[in-house]
Amino acid sequence: MTAFILVRLVRAIAVLVFTVTLVFIVLRLSGDPAQQMLSDNAGPEALAAFNAKWGLDRSIPEQYLYYVANVLRGDFGVSFADGREVFTVVGERIPKTLIVTVSAFIVSMLIGIPAGILAAMRRESALDKGVMAGAVLGYSVPNFLLGLTFIFVFAVWLRVLPSSGSSTWNHAILPVATFALFNAAALARFMRSTLIDVLGQPYIAAARADGIPRWEIIFRHALPNAAIPMVTTLGFVAGGLLGGSALIEPVFAWPGLGSGFVNATNTGDLPVVQAMIVLFTVFMVAINLIVDVLYAVLNPKIRKH
């Protein structure tokens, strides 16, 4: 198991190094930063001073090391938009995004997992068909459309919730609900099919033959097995929530990383875009690492090899 986790750790670091390198290449290819940062009529001395300040007058390998060293220190340069440290600009937005994604993640598990379990236990029943119809609906409506519908119903029509901003907890309800419903649908579907698959395994038939009560078969024998593929899906959902924040946050004018990324892309604020790509990769790599560790913990075939 230690070897398994070490391998995953090395892989995670490799992915991060690769991403940082890619971002450096994009930085080099995206034009002369001095020209972009300084006004058009800046003189050659000003350009040279700028290049010296940011190390742009050195060789490419040197610049690469310089860049990596800066990134490791959390120095992603300054935002083109307002000249503030990118670290601060991006850092402010992290908690906002985490509030919405983590809440949505928890809510979608609380809804989707029990719904999937019930549907699998009462397979082909009205309950199962109801849950699955809901799941298909929730899954096939695009996220942002669901968000707009919520805004229309709860903010414009019923006027019970605010439609945009982040000043109160109420502001978080609609973005969280939008995210949670979509992902609850995905989780319910996957939970159901995984559990049905496990319930069809010979060891479950053997447990039934042994007279083990139904609830014990579900909770002690089936779910621990279903949890193994489920962990991978939860990882996908968590990653999807982060990626999806670029779609959902602008809809609700929620000032998190997603809106920030869209803004920075629109205004060409390259340092911010790059820092966000690195940050996003860090999140993804962390999620993958957690999934891998949980997978090994839950699966004796990996844990005890």
Q: Which residues bind other proteins (CB under 8 A)?
A: 200-203, 205-212, 221, 224-225, 228, 298-301, 304
Q: Are residues 198 and 225 in contact, defined by beta-carbon separation less than 8 angstroms? A: yes
Complex with other proteins: residue 49 or 223, whichever CB lies closer: 223
The rounded radius of gyration (Å) of the Cα atoms in the chain is 24
Complex with other proteins: residue 2 or 168, whichever CB lies closer: 2
Q: Output the smallest distance, CB 167 to other proteins, in A.
A: 47
CA dihedral angle for residue 225, residue 228, residue 230, residue 236, rounded to 10 degrees: -170
Three-state DSSP class for 259? helix
Complex with other proteins: residue 189 or 221, whichever CB lies closer: 221
DSSP characters for 244-294? HHHHHHHHTT--SHHHHHHHHHHHT-HHHHHHHHHHHHHHHHHHHHHHHHH
Complex with other proteins: residue 125 or 201, whichever CB lies closer: 201
Q: Output the smallest distance, CB 299 to other proteins, in A.
A: 8
Q: Output the smallest distance, CB 197 to other proteins, in A.
A: 13
**Which CA distances in Å does 137 have to 35, 71, 106, 190, 216?**
50, 43, 20, 15, 32
Phi, psi of 101 (to 5 degrees): -70, -40
147 vs 251: CA distance, rounded Å:
7
Q: Output the smallest distance, CB 221 to other proteins, in A.
A: 5
Q: Output the smallest distance, CB 231 to other proteins, in A.
A: 13
Complex with other proteins: residue 228 or 264, whichever CB lies closer: 228
258 vs 241: CA distance, rounded Å:
10
Q: Are residues 277 and 11 in contact, defined by beta-carbon separation less than 8 angstroms? A: no
Q: Output the smallest distance, CB 121 to other proteins, in A.
A: 13
Q: Are residues 245 and 93 in contact, defined by beta-carbon separation less than 8 angstroms? A: no
Complex with other proteins: residue 99 or 199, whichever CB lies closer: 199
Q: Are residues 175 and 249 in contact, defined by beta-carbon separation less than 8 angstroms? A: yes
Complex with other proteins: residue 79 or 225, whichever CB lies closer: 225
Complex with other proteins: residue 84 or 220, whichever CB lies closer: 220
Q: Output the smallest distance, CB 122 to other proteins, in A.
A: 13
Q: Output the smallest distance, CB 129 to other proteins, in A.
A: 17
- What DSSP state is assigned to residue 219? I
Three-class HEC string of 99-156: HHHHHHHHHHHHHHHHHHHHHHHCCCCHHHHHHHHHHHHHHHCCHHHHHHHHHHHHHH
